[in-house]
Amino acid sequence: MVCFYVIAIIFLLSFIGIGEIGTNVMIPLGIFYLLSSKFSLLKYALSHKAIKWYFIFCFFTSISIVYAIDPVAAFKTQKKMLIVFAFSLIVFSYAVSSVRYIYTMYVTNAFMLLILIIYVLSLGVAINEGRADDTGLNANTYGYYIFNGLFSLFILYSGTKIKKKLRVIFLIFLIAACIFSLWIILLSASRGASIITGFLIIGNIFIIFSLSKKGVMKKLVFFLFTLLSLIYFTTYLNDNYFQDSYLSKRFQLLEEVETPRELLINNAIEIGIRNPIIGVGAGNFAIIQKTDEQGSFSHNTFTEIFANFGLLGLVLYGGFFSNILFKLRKLFKYSDINTKIILYQILLFLIAFNIYSTLYVVYLSNVFMHLLFVVYAHILMLDRNLLIKVK
């Protein structure tokens, strides 16, 4: 039931163009359910330090409506941010209560990637101005689902105990998912997604290969099989296919002109410098700068926070993320090899998440924030298990 709830809000409703039902109906109903029937879960979720930091961050950003130049724009942006926090809190409250529920969330994200791959293979994608651009999925959102899905698949491979034959099948599926994901990224022509997807795949292969308990031959077979598959795919792309692709042209464009993203980021920094303490208010970056249409954003989480909420906003958001990193750091000292593989995969995810944060305003996205909260729940669960072992 929870899986369907998450898939509906993150993927299905947005895909068919009725995402407002998830935002305005399903998420508020989820919070109402927690308050009325599972209040102890919600109370426990709010007791963790990182969640407290994020709650304070949301409270401060809500106050910004009072001093914002355009309170209406601030209210609309803040409503979206609070809805994303509410949904992430629902998922976190569910995940933090059991390891099984955490892995259920990973399976859910992996399943969404499978749906995406099947959809593209069976129905194809519409190409608009050289990029994949469907009614329910734009060129950038393909990368978001791929990022979540591939990370979930890699951590499921490392963290679940299954029979050897099933593990081989799962490995083949994982490699196939990597190949098809790279192909979809190529169609979407998303520069950021191509870099982050490559980083995620290579990083996970290195972690699993270097830290695995398996014998040298098994490690070698796994490494060579994965490497040869990716080399074959890369060779296919390099056969004048990548060079002629729109993705290649977009990378070349970076060297020639200032892109709209660069312009927006520079404008956000300038506005933040002029209003350094508390910023100009939620969503008001787009109101202050007139070079682009109102309702736009800087495509960078950190510059968006700086422009809208100032240094105080950056400190509060930094406190939230730092708390997650400090909790993760503690676990490395006492964990065994199998757990360390998962910890390094989580660290890789957090690094990649921050890279994505320089390309998108992640705190306004259910896709990104819900998985970050699941990963935090996973860290807490590993910490809890470690304490039990010590005792």
Residue 235 has a pLDDT of 53
Residue 256 has a pLDDT of 53
Which residues of the chain are under the pLDDT cut of 50? Answer: 238-242, 251, 291-295
The CB-based long-range contact list for 350-357 (8 Å cut-off, 24+ gap) reads: 350/321, 350/324, 350/325, 350/375, 352/147, 352/151, 352/196, 352/199, 352/200, 352/203, 354/321, 355/192, 355/195, 355/196, 355/199, 356/147, 356/192, 356/196, 357/300, 357/301, 357/302
Residue 289 has a pLDDT of 55
Residue 283 has a pLDDT of 84
Residue 180 has a pLDDT of 87
d(CA 236, CA 371) in angstroms, rounded, equals: 33
Tokens of 209: 């290969």
pTM: 0.88
Residue 164 has a pLDDT of 77
Residue 248 has a pLDDT of 54
Q: Tens of pLDDT along 360-383?
A: 899 999 999 999 999 999 999 999
| Chain mean position to CA 334 | 28
Residue 332 has a pLDDT of 86
Q: Tens of pLDDT along 172-202?
A: 889 889 888 888 887 777 777 888 998 999 8
Residue 241 has a pLDDT of 47
